[in-house]
Amino acid sequence: MKINKYLLTGIGALALGALTASAATRTWTDAQGRKVEAAFIKLDGETIYIQTADGSVHPLPLSRFSAEDQEAAKTMAPADNANILAQVPTNATAAQAAGKIDQLVAMGLQKGNVKLAEAWRKQVAEDAKKGVKTPTPTALKPNPPCTDEQFIRRVYLDIVGRIPNYTETSVFIKSASSTKRAELIDKLLASDGYVNHMYDYFADMLRITEGTNQVRTLNYAQWLKQQVVANRPYNEIVFEMLTAEGKVWNNGAAGYLLRDSGMPLDNLANTLTVFLGTDVACAQCHDHPFSDWTQMQFYQMASFFGATTTRLNGKDFAGGDPEKKLTEELTYMMEKQGKDVKEARIQVQNAVRNVFTANRMSIKDRDQNGMKLPADYKYKDASPNDPVAPKLISWSPKDKENPAYKDAEAELGTSSTSKSTSKKTAAKAATSAAATASAAAKNEGLRNTFAKWATHPQNPRFAMTIANRMWQRAFGLGLTQSVKSIDNPDESYNPELLKHLSSEMVRLKFNLKEFMRVVYNTKAYQSEATTEALAMGEPYYFQGPVLRRLSAEQAWDSYMTLVLGDKVDSIKNTEADLYGRSVDLDLEKATPQTLISKVTALQTLGQKQAAKMGGSLAMANKDDAKKKGTGAAMEKMEDEDMMIVKVGNMKLMRASELEQPTQGGHFLREFGQSDRTVIDGASKSGSVPQVLMMMNGDAQKLLTDKESLIHRTLKLAKSPEDKTEIVFLSILSRKPTLREKDLAKKELQAHGEEGYSNMIWALINTREFTFMQ
Amino acid sequence: MSNPFLKWDTASRREFMLRTAKTTLGVSVLSHLDKAMGAAEPAPAGKGGKAKAVIYLYMGGGMTHIDTWDPKTGETKGAKEPISTNGNMQLGGYMTNMAKVADKITVVRSMSSKTGVHEAGNYLMHTGYEPRGTIVHPGLGSWAHHFLGKVQKTLPSSVVIGSNNASSGFFPPAYAPVPIGNPDAGLQNIKTTVGEDSFNKRLSLMNEFDTAFRDKFKSADVKAYNEFYDETLKLLKSEDLKAFDLAQEPAETKALYGNSGFGKGCLLARRLVQNGVRFVEVGMGGWDMHNNIDTAMSTTGATMDMVFAALISDLKRTGLLDSTLVVMGSEFGRTPTVNENGGRDHYPKVYSTVFAGGGVKGGYVYGSSDKDGREVADKQVSVQDYIATIGAAMGLPVDKVVFSPSGRPFTVGDKGSVVADIFA
């Protein structure tokens, strides 16, 4: 029996493991009468799984088959090993796992065509009444495979967050190896640049800032980078953030809760949105108007954090709040030294307050849960200001059977509802010391219970949300309209694919690097970008990635690559260490002397930072600078390894190493870097100031500077033709076309050396540079 | 050569500009969309329409109502006593400068919203809509651009200074406000590094090298970029660029506004309005006063008071106040009860906004909160009403339904009622 290619679009030569057909085979016929022989595996909603003779299992839309087959499928019993057959084997290679994804993408396209055809038939019937001829719709089909030139630019921007430099591009394009794409993916995933770019993604998602309430929380960013370096499983990273204790410089993960110190309800809303793809922010103030979430449910979830404080006060110190006592002692010391009393007091108070404010920013689980309903609570199930006991939300009635819930319920125990700070309950509890101790222990463990549930592999949304986010990173669109609100997975663009990606996330044990390796190896990812405009609200079937504007970080880091080359990936910011060491103080044990040492350390911190900066572009590319003996530029270099080059107001480092976020007016902000107030707050739209910056900005000037890497690379070539090729390969990662070569030749004849700067300027300002195909 | 474009008045320049516009479809795309989305209609009679321009002072973080515009004397009073003013109202003790121009303002003390989250509240106070995952709603500047077009050819119709609200919503990107990060720097990067000829050569090379890409990808995003390049080039050759330059102001005027970013932003706003920008937002942060609100008000609050009063006086002096509406808003108020850290927390249930100039009454208070500032006592104003009222002040047809490209219906202020009582 001939296997019909059209019916089984997407079936590669790939067999998923050594699986053989176990059930009797049957001849299946599609709506157009084409046939294929295969064994029935299972029917899952509108998707039928059949296994062909080569052992591979194909998910296909049921609607593609003849009415007779559809009826048959509904009555047939699933194969014994149906669920195993439909899954990817535990130890599948990236290529095998990618093949499975491609099958599901192909199936999604077919379903899309069925829908298109249905809509078309309806339209024909309507138009016939009016006597109008209906144009035939174009069938959806996968985009053609992308070229090596398109691939290398895309994969560098996606994985390491910058364009490839001239050498990287030319080596790859020249290579004749059949496995060079997979090898490049592996190389990039293992590189420093991967860390920079993955961090950029998380920083936008988690709204990472330099500080909160005048306290610098740089260690949070540093900690997150370390997790990415170690490729720590995502569920562990999130668990640690949700359960962290202490100060941010002793435990960077504490930055997650400290980021929203003083607004725990906002923090919770963000937690549910960012990690569980569930938008319940409305329920913070009233029952959700469109979903089922109630305000009570929101507060029940918030109650898991009701015993947690992010700011230490009198309650948290054995001997009461030490600030007042220390201030008095210090003032007394200064008075004895003959300082003017009033002035001394102000100075001391301010200095002490700064150190205290910083060291009070610490997460601690208290033994009492203070979560109460708001004063304006207006629903009948409780009264305003009532204490609220913790309770988990669920998305479907089936969730109760889910191990994630069973574990949590076991920890909460049946008495969880009686635990509260209400006076009555507290009075009763006081009669039994044991009960009090147990309630206290439970309160201290609430966050832990929540975090275990939230990051549990079987949580109905956790794996799905990060899988959807990672898919969006690669394709430019998620499988749902918004990655922040999955709502109903069955209404996503491709429900089978979304569910499969979630199970892949679990199979890969939340190893994001492995997950991305699979995605980057798919044919879908390695297809050309979709050229048509996408209609808002219409489903997308992942014919290939969509055309994306570079993120602010990708654009800046690409500029840096043109200036410094690939060494830009290894320049690191170490500021967090210095700040943490300077400010940390154990408030319980603080003495006037230790306090003074902290104040002094903070004051000298600024000078240390400034000493690490300076220089010029020549110095950044210092091998050459040495040869040319530009001694003046070298003067400021105290410690060559630690040195950060600053030209004008720009530190020549990757976005991930700069201020978080950079100040308004910086290249990154003008290009749309998030101000980090909102989840995924980055913008990809243009503006007049942004275009002005691309035309006349300081960063632009760096590129046309004779010391930038691109200019120095030009010196290596002799002929104008070769030089033109270098300019194109360096900026657009492709060779010039014949027409472009001709244009370049004329430009060089007319303007000589200046012509290269003009070409660089022109290419940087093309849409081709600003967008990624 | 600092700015060759100021001399761009020869025939060849114009030809070049025209050609660029045609190549990039910028012109035709815009006019097409304009038609599709409906033309302007007059504002409802007797409901404002006098504000040719709006300066929106946005206090990011949630401005405390009790310490500013709605002072209390009871248990929720805070650190300072209310003070008397030259208008028919009392203000918070920190508002010493505003007390001297209170005869020119209307305070709305009965604002009420349902969201206590910064982002959602900010979005609501700019668009009149709650944030959704499926659509981005436009702000007032973009609405005005849609109904009324641009005031003049080269300058943008709206500008945001020190704030992040620079989206055009579902309108074309060209309707988006132009963001200014630093008022001192004004519009940055307007000086080219090479001479006029070289710059032109560069532009022409850019268009030539980009032809294939632009032919292949016809997406809205790419077209939007083409439009932004066109607009930028138009602006570069315009004399109006000076509107962005604070250095043109005399020292005494600068001193009036002070040295804060907010002060400079407001001075820039006045210059822009004077030169034909219709909608300018100036953002000021620092209002999320969860801790030590007295200290925070003594700095942030005092700066706002000084600058706001300076702006009103300066608009009066320059004769712009009657045609310029100044509005101050924030995502919510702050809890009447002071918390254990000496601060106040988020409080959307009742809060205040302020209007000045542009045809509104002076020395007037609309609506009220109860004794301790906990509930609306009289004449509740929703955020939708508030946005519709600003729209009406500008003469926008707030009842007119406009359809987004995805076919969904929207109005200025989501069917809110115009608070006509505040108009003189």
Do residues B228 and B252 share a domain? no
- In three-state secondary structure terms, A303 is helix
Do residues B266 and B227 share a domain? no
| CA dist., res. A51 & res. A31, Å (int) | 19
Using CA coordinates, name the residue in chain A closest to B230.
A688
Cis? peptide before A661, omega within 30° of 0: yes
Q: What is the pLDDT of residues A437-494, one digit of tens each?
A: 777 778 889 999 999 999 999 999 999 999 999 999 999 999 998 898 898 999 999 9
Q: How many CA atoms lie within 13 A of B187 on its CB side?
A: 26
- CB contact, 8 Å: B173 with chain A? yes
Cβ–Cβ below 8 Å for B198 and A758: yes
User: Quick one: pLDDT at residue A619?
Assistant: 62
- CB contact, 8 Å: B7 with chain A? no
Cβ atoms of residues A503 and A97 within 8 Å: no
Cβ–Cβ below 8 Å for A771 and B217: yes
Cβ–Cβ below 8 Å for A685 and B182: no
Domain boundary among A102, A130, A158: A130
Burial of A639 (0-12, 13-18, 19+ CB in 10 A): exposed
Q: What is the pLDDT of residues A681-701, one digit of tens each?
A: 788 888 888 899 999 999 988
- CB contact, 8 Å: A143 with chain B? no
Contacts of B117 in chain A (CB under 8 A): 265-266, 269, 281, 284
- Return the HEC string of B311-351: HHHHHHHCCCHHHEEEEEEECCEECCCCCCCECCCEECCCE
Q: How close is the nearest chain B Cα to the Cα of A731, in Å?
A: 12
At residue A287 the predicted structure's pLDDT band, cuts being 50, 70 and 90, is confident
Residue B238 included in any domain: yes
Q: Which helix (H) or strand (E) holds A59?
A: strand A57-61
- CB contact, 8 Å: B195 with chain A? no
Do residues A148 and A106 share a domain? no
- pLDDT of A621 higher than 70: no
Residues B45, B51, B55, B59, Cα dihedral to 10°: -30
pTM of the shown model: 0.77
User: Quick one: pLDDT at residue A643?
Assistant: 63
Q: What is the DSSP letter of A13?
A: S
Q: How close is the nearest chain B Cα to the Cα of A475, in Å?
A: 16
Cβ–Cβ below 8 Å for A533 and B345: no
Please identify which residue in the block is written with the tokens 């479907």: A396
Q: Could you tell me what percentage of chain A is helix, strand and coil, using 3-state DSSP and rounding each to the nearest 5?
A: 55, 10, 40
Contacts of A529 in chain B (CB under 8 A): 217
Cβ–Cβ below 8 Å for A704 and B189: no
Q: Are strands A771-772 and B402-403 parallel, antiparallel or unpaired?
A: unpaired
* 650-689 of A, contacting B, C-beta below 8 A: 663-666, 669-670, 675, 677-678, 681, 683-689
Q: How many CA atoms lie within 13 A of B288 on its CB side?
A: 18
Do residues B196 and B63 share a domain? no
Cβ–Cβ below 8 Å for B206 and A761: yes
At residue A433 the predicted structure's pLDDT band, cuts being 50, 70 and 90, is low
Do residues B228 and B271 share a domain? no
Report the b/e string of A453-481 with b at 16+ CB within 10 A.
bbbbbbbbbbbbbbbbbbbbbbbbbbbbb
CATH number at residue A43: 2.30.30.700
- CB contact, 8 Å: B219 with chain A? yes
Q: What is the pLDDT of residues A201-243, one digit of tens each?
A: 999 999 998 877 668 888 999 999 999 999 999 999 999 999 9
Report the b/e string of A597-631 with b at 16+ CB within 10 A.
ebbebbeebeeeeeebebbbbbbbbbeebeeeebe
Q: Within 10 A of A397 (CB to CB), how many other CB atoms are there?
A: 7
Do residues A193 and A273 share a domain? no
Cβ–Cβ below 8 Å for B206 and A773: no
Do residues A448 and A500 share a domain? no
Highest average pLDDT, of A76-80, A568-572, A649-653, B394-398, comes from B394-398
Do residues B289 and B173 share a domain? yes
Do residues B62 and B168 share a domain? yes
- In three-state secondary structure terms, A754 is helix
Q: What is the pLDDT of residues A583-600, one digit of tens each?
A: 899 998 888 888 888 888
Do residues B161 and B59 share a domain? yes
Number of domains in chain B: 2
Taken as a whole, chain B contains a residue count of: 424
User: Quick one: pLDDT at residue B284?
Assistant: 95
Residue B41 included in any domain: no
* 380-409 of B, contacting A, C-beta below 8 A: 404-406
> Which among B179, B188, B205 has the least Cβ separation from residue A758?
B205
Do residues A404 and A433 share a domain? yes
> Which among B164, B176, B194 has the least Cβ separation from residue A685?
B176
> Which among B120, B192, B225 has the least Cβ separation from residue A686?
B225
A127: left (phi over 0), alpha (psi -120 to 50) or beta: alpha
| CA dist., res. B357 & res. B49, Å (int) | 12
- CB contact, 8 Å: A238 with chain B? no
CATH number at residue B282: 3.40.720.10
Residue A259, both tokens: 């980021």
Cβ atoms of residues A365 and A443 within 8 Å: yes
Residue A345 included in any domain: no
Q: Are strands A35-44 and A25-29 parallel, antiparallel or unpaired?
A: antiparallel
Do residues A274 and A394 share a domain? yes
- Of the residues A671, A767, A770, A771, the best mutation for testing chain B's interface (the one with the most B CB atoms within 10 Å of its CB) is A767
Domain boundary among A99, A130, A161: A130
| CA dist., res. A673 & res. A655, Å (int) | 10
A180-184 own/partner pairs: CB under 8 Å, 24+ apart: A181/A151, A181/A155, A181/A521, A181/A526, A182/A94, A182/A95, A182/A521, A184/A152, A184/A155
Cβ atoms of residues B420 and B366 within 8 Å: no
* 42-81 of A, contacting B, C-beta below 8 A: none
Report the b/e string of A135-156 with b at 16+ CB within 10 A.
eeeeebebbeebebbbbbbbbb
Do residues A428 and A448 share a domain? yes
- Domain enclosing residue B32, as ranges: 1-36+187-243
Do residues A664 and A554 share a domain? yes
> Which among A213, A670, A690 has the least Cβ separation from residue B291?
A213
Cβ atoms of residues A635 and A532 within 8 Å: no
Cβ atoms of residues A284 and A278 within 8 Å: no
Do residues A657 and A720 share a domain? yes
* 501-560 of A, contacting B, C-beta below 8 A: 529, 531-537, 547, 549
Could you tell me the sign of the dihedral formed by the alpha carbons of A616, A621, A622, A625, in that order?
Answer: negative
Burial of A93 (0-12, 13-18, 19+ CB in 10 A): middle
- Of the residues B135, B206, B244, the best mutation for testing chain A's interface (the one with the most A CB atoms within 10 Å of its CB) is B206
> Which among A482, A678, A757 has the least Cβ separation from residue B119?
A678
Contacts of B134 in chain A (CB under 8 A): 481-482, 536-537
Residue A268 included in any domain: yes
Residue A663 included in any domain: yes
Residue A218 included in any domain: no
Q: Within 10 A of B344 (CB to CB), how many other CB atoms are there?
A: 26
- CB contact, 8 Å: B121 with chain A? no
- CB contact, 8 Å: B212 with chain A? yes
Do residues A521 and A666 share a domain? yes
Do residues B384 and B305 share a domain? yes
Contacts of B130 in chain A (CB under 8 A): 282
Q: How close is the nearest chain B Cα to the Cα of A669, in Å?
A: 9
Using CA coordinates, name the residue in chain A closest to B286.
A213
Cβ–Cβ below 8 Å for A689 and B179: yes
Residue B297 included in any domain: yes
> Which among B188, B194, B214 has the least Cβ separation from residue A767?
B214
Cβ–Cβ below 8 Å for A689 and B185: no
The amino acid present at A569, given as its one-letter code, is D
Using CA coordinates, name the residue in chain B closest to A269.
B117
Do residues A125 and A149 share a domain? no
Q: What is the pLDDT of residues A497-508, one digit of tens each?
A: 999 999 999 999
Of residues A363, A71, A40, the one with CA closest to residue A217: A363
Residue B12 included in any domain: yes
Domain boundary among A454, A475, A496: A454
Number of domains in chain A: 4
- CB contact, 8 Å: A146 with chain B? no
Residue B16 included in any domain: yes
| CA dist., res. A759 & res. A391, Å (int) | 62
Cβ–Cβ below 8 Å for A689 and B182: no
User: Quick one: pLDDT at residue A638?
Assistant: 35
Do residues A685 and A559 share a domain? yes
> Which among A691, A697, A763 has the least Cβ separation from residue B232?
A691
- CB contact, 8 Å: A738 with chain B? no
Q: Are strands B53-59 and B279-284 parallel, antiparallel or unpaired?
A: parallel
Q: What percent of chain A has pLDDT over 90?
A: 48
Q: Within 10 A of A127 (CB to CB), how many other CB atoms are there?
A: 13
Do residues A148 and A121 share a domain? no
Residue A346 included in any domain: no
Do residues B285 and B159 share a domain? yes
User: Quick one: pLDDT at residue A290?
Assistant: 57
Residue A360 included in any domain: no
| Residues of chain B with confidence (pLDDT) below 70 | 1-46, 132-135, 173, 406-407
- Domain enclosing residue A467, as ranges: 461-510
Do residues B212 and B75 share a domain? no
- CB contact, 8 Å: B345 with chain A? yes
User: Quick one: pLDDT at residue A15?
Assistant: 34
User: Quick one: pLDDT at residue B71?
Assistant: 98
Contacts of A683 in chain B (CB under 8 A): 166-167
Residue A590 included in any domain: no
Q: What are the backbone angles phi and psi of residue A647, rounded to the nearest 5°? A: -120, 120
Q: What is the pLDDT of residues A246-258, one digit of tens each?
A: 999 999 999 999 9
Do residues B296 and B192 share a domain? no
Contacts of B185 in chain A (CB under 8 A): 665
Residue A580 included in any domain: no
Q: What is the pLDDT of residues A627-663, one digit of tens each?
A: 333 333 333 333 444 567 888 878 999 999 999 999 8
Residue B182 included in any domain: no
Q: What is the pLDDT of residues A95-120, one digit of tens each?
A: 999 999 999 999 999 999 998 899 89
Do residues B26 and B111 share a domain? no
Higher per-residue confidence, B111 vs A331 = B111
Cβ–Cβ below 8 Å for A691 and B206: no
| CA dist., res. A258 & res. A219, Å (int) | 12
Contacts of B198 in chain A (CB under 8 A): 751, 754, 758
